[in-house]
Structure 1
Amino acid sequence: MKRYILVRYGELSTKGRNKKRFTQQLAQNIKGVLADLTPNKVVAGHDYLTVYPPAESVDIALERLSHVFGIQSYSPVIELEKDMEVIRDQIFAILDGKDLKGKSFRIATKRADHDFYLDTNAINRYLGEAVAERYKELRVQLKRPDLVIKVEIREKYALLTTEVYKGAGGLPVGTSGRALLLLSGGIDSVVAGYMALKRGIEVEAVHFASPPYTSPQALQKAKDLAKILARYGRQIQFLTVPFTASQEAIKQNLPSPYLMTITRRMMMRVASRLAEERKALAIVTGESIGQVASQTLESMLAITDAAGYPVLRPLAGFDKLEIIALAEEIGSFELSIQPYEDCCTVFAPPSPKTKPKLEACQHYETKIDVKRLVEDAVKHTEVENISAHEINEFNDLL
């Protein structure tokens, strides 16, 4: 008898000749999130993937798999002899420890071995009658029962499970290339990162810090948000960009209504240079059309002009309540609303331009040394690896 976790592919089943590349990436990602649970083994097959965690760590592995993109569903399974009495007795062993009063059940059998001496209906009937006879408090219910006992008869063995966990869906992280996420520390950008990860993009987080105007707590908050993102497939590279000199130059030399637009244009220039160095293919932001002054279409046009790479906006069509709901779902909301200012808010003008003119932006930028400021910011950017495990309690920062 063997125990392991059976992982079922979702969208990957449509990938045709490219499927192997996707399944191998998924296997690599699962190995990454289970790396500290040793020994473990992950095997990618054509129709499903098997995970062999240490026996004492199965529950931990089941929880971590819920955050791995590319999985439709997964189940802890028991591999048994193809013997009906052995299968029946194992079902009894599982059910003996459960509170079954008032519950319903059904047997669901798949038979890949068509030479097996019982057909699907006969297996369902034999096991169903055995369970009903032993557990009088259980009732048979074919539609939407409380408990589904799944049996699969394969060529060399049988599989048994009573639990199916819903996977995160999407594509395995790393199958769609790499992008840089502008991670501010607010509600929106981390959700945008989650959406990018779900489409298979390997995300690296770029955070603009402006000490002393922004605090160490604000920086740590952004890192902890990156740790939340790291749960969803792989570790996150976190890039801290020193942005004080750029913001001071903009504040001292440019008219107030254009401060926000040109600040974001500078961010795009820095991010584009970093994307070139990091071999990224795009920049991801948490912008939502019309949410604030810098997110009107006119503002987005002026800001994107400064980018040398495609700018992906996964939340463009979301309203704030939808974004908050997703933030709560992934566990980032309470951290995001902690009151630490990011560099966009500490220098925010009282009346930012909602329809900035590109020509005006380009004219005002001649008043500062754009090239030098970008080069200095890129040169002094610090990079560190962020792991999903051991997320700091934010109260430690207070």
Structure 2
Amino acid sequence: MSGTDCVLLKHGEIFLKGRNRHLFTERLHDNLRVALRGVGGSTWIKTAQNVTVLGGQVPVATLVERARQVIGFNSVAPAVRVPSTLDAITDASVDALRAVRAERRVRGFAVRVKRRDKGFPLTSSRMEAHLGARVREGVPGLPVDLSAPDITLTVEIDRKETYLSWERHPGLSGLPVGSSGRALVLLSGGYDSPVAAHRAMRRGLSCDFVHFNGAPYTNPSSVYKAYALARELNRCQPPGALHVIALGKAQKQLAVAGAGRLQVVAQRRLMVRTASALAARTGAQALVTGDSLGQVASQTLANLAAVDEAASLPVLRPLIGWVKQEIIDEARTIGTAGISVLPDEDCCTLLAPPRVTTRARLPQVRAVERRLELDELIESLLAGAQVLRPGEEAETPEAEAPMVEAGCQAAG
């Protein structure tokens, strides 16, 4: 086929930005470069009007796969780049549809032309008619169907170069990761927190992760899951760190201090206190949790308010109005559901009472906390934290596996 293979990446929300648009574009391209690491060949990135063009000495399918992991692009389309001359565009259009027709049955086609260069001699509608006629001549038996075509050839004409595409994949859209600051995600092994993390990333937040496990009273299975979840999420951002904190002994101290029905809320308050202190050290400006209002007893409005009171940073809850099935469906879409469904020993159920209060009162919770040396306890928790880097250590999951095991053994 004539022309040079490439990939067209249509920008998402940054199209709406004003004078700072170039900063968002630069961040988007930086993230794209990170996603392209290890592709096995040289690549290049070019900016057109609200479009990024990606190419290089790498199979287009590989470029498409990597680009679809980058938050901030609305669509990802394999394309062919040709000079912006009538003959070159015409020849490439005929070649493209002839190749498609040879691969599969096509019952009808349409041509859509967008002229970014208004100096091109033919208008968009005249160019569509011209290309449609030439394709029908060059690919006998392929009819035009403008209402419901099996394939749509999109032709985007710039001043020097024109891009032809006939296949389009959805992107992750949103704001480029890192354009809104940095956050620390309280990452459990369930469905909710990974989906919340992904939603936070799509609003431009770079995310690190903190996982609280019940060690030494639970096995390291939850750490395996947290590592795998963080690695999957890190495919969509420059990899963030995973901090693993053994909470079991602190949970036992709360129980001994007489937390009773307040045990779960007290644990959550200790988690956000510790996460706030960790965030201060890592430069995070907010915490992210997977809370959904009323989903469980610890997520009633009163209990959420009691937890927030212990945090020194904003607590963001992207899923606050979601129902469980919506969260599960989203987890399947982003690829975390298969990990979340694996069995583990969740620290939240460790030492949990048979009945959990749904209306925690701050004076009662504070009375329990005063029986502990909270500052020393938090410092001890942070001192014992393990720091893992999912997605950074190696290019393949097989190479990462020993590091997962080593990290879990250390944490457990």
Q: Which moved more, 1:226-235 or 1:313-322?
A: 226-235
1:47 matched to which residue of 2? 50
Q: Does the residue aligned with 2:112 lie in a helix, a strand or coil? A: strand
1:336 matched to which residue of 2? 340
How far apart in 2 are the matches of 1:231 and 1:50?
A: 21
Task: Give the Å deviation of 1:91.
Answer: 2.6
1:286 to 283, 290, 298: 290
Asked if residue 241 in structure 1 is aligned to residue 245 in structure 2, the reply is yes
1:34 matched to which residue of 2? 36
How far apart in 1 are the matches of 2:48 and 2:247?
A: 47
Q: Does the residue aligned with 2:389 lie in a helix, a strand or coil? A: strand
Task: Give the Å deviation of 1:135.
Answer: 3.0
Task: Give the Å deviation of 1:55.
Answer: 3.1
2:190 to 186, 198, 202: 186
Asked if residue 5 in structure 1 is aligned to residue 7 in structure 2, the reply is yes
Q: Which amino acid aligns with 1:39?
A: S
Q: Does the residue aligned with 1:317 lie in a helix, a strand or coil? A: coil
Task: Give the Å deviation of 1:341.
Answer: 1.4
Asked if residue 274 in structure 1 is aligned to residue 270 in structure 2, the reply is no
Asked if residue 390 in structure 1 is aligned to residue 396 in structure 2, the reply is yes
How far apart in 2 are the matches of 1:44 and 1:137?
A: 38
2:323 matched to which residue of 1? 319
Q: For residues 45 and 159 of structure 1, do their structure 2 counterparts lie closer, same or farther at Cα, with a shift above 3 Å needed? A: closer
Q: Which residues of structure 2 form unaligned runs of 5+?
A: 406-412
Task: Give the Å deviation of 1:218.
Answer: 1.7
Q: How does 1:1-398 map to 2 (within 5 A)?
A: 1-37=3-39, 38-45=41-48, 47-56=50-59, 58-98=60-100, 99-387=103-391, 390-391=396-397
CA-to-partner distance for each residue in 1:361-382, whole Å, 9 max, x for gaps?
0011122222211110112222
Q: Check whether the contact 1:182–1:189 (CA below 8 A) recurs between aligned residues.
A: yes
Task: Give the Å deviation of 1:75.
Answer: 1.9
How far apart in 2 are the matches of 1:11 and 1:359?
A: 45
How far apart in 1 are the matches of 2:53 and 2:89?
A: 20
CA-to-partner distance for each residue in 1:88-139, whole Å, 9 max, x for gaps?
3323332333345352111111223334333333322222112223334422
Q: Which amino acid aligns with 2:71?
A: F
CA-to-partner distance for each residue in 1:278-325, whole Å, 9 max, x for gaps?
111111000111011100011011111111110001111011111111
The number of aligned residues is 395
Task: Give the Å deviation of 1:65.
Answer: 1.7
How far apart in 2 are the matches of 1:170 and 1:149?
A: 26
How far apart in 1 are the matches of 2:168 and 2:277?
A: 45
How far apart in 2 are the matches of 1:356 and 1:343?
A: 20
Q: Which moved more, 1:192-201 or 1:206-215?
A: 206-215
How far apart in 2 are the matches of 1:277 and 1:260?
A: 26
How far apart in 1 are the matches of 2:43 and 2:25?
A: 18
How far apart in 2 are the matches of 1:107 and 1:158?
A: 14
Q: Check whether the contact 2:216–2:246 (CA below 8 A) recurs between aligned residues.
A: no
Task: Give the Å deviation of 1:6.
Answer: 2.0
CA-to-partner distance for each residue in 1:199-221, whole Å, 9 max, x for gaps?
00111110012223222222111
Q: Which residues of structure 1 form unaligned runs of 5+?
A: none
How far apart in 1 are the matches of 2:257 and 2:356?
A: 16
Length-normalised TM-score, structure 2: 0.90
How far apart in 2 are the matches of 1:308 and 1:387?
A: 30
How far apart in 2 are the matches of 1:291 and 1:132?
A: 58
Task: Give the Å deviation of 1:261.
Answer: 0.8
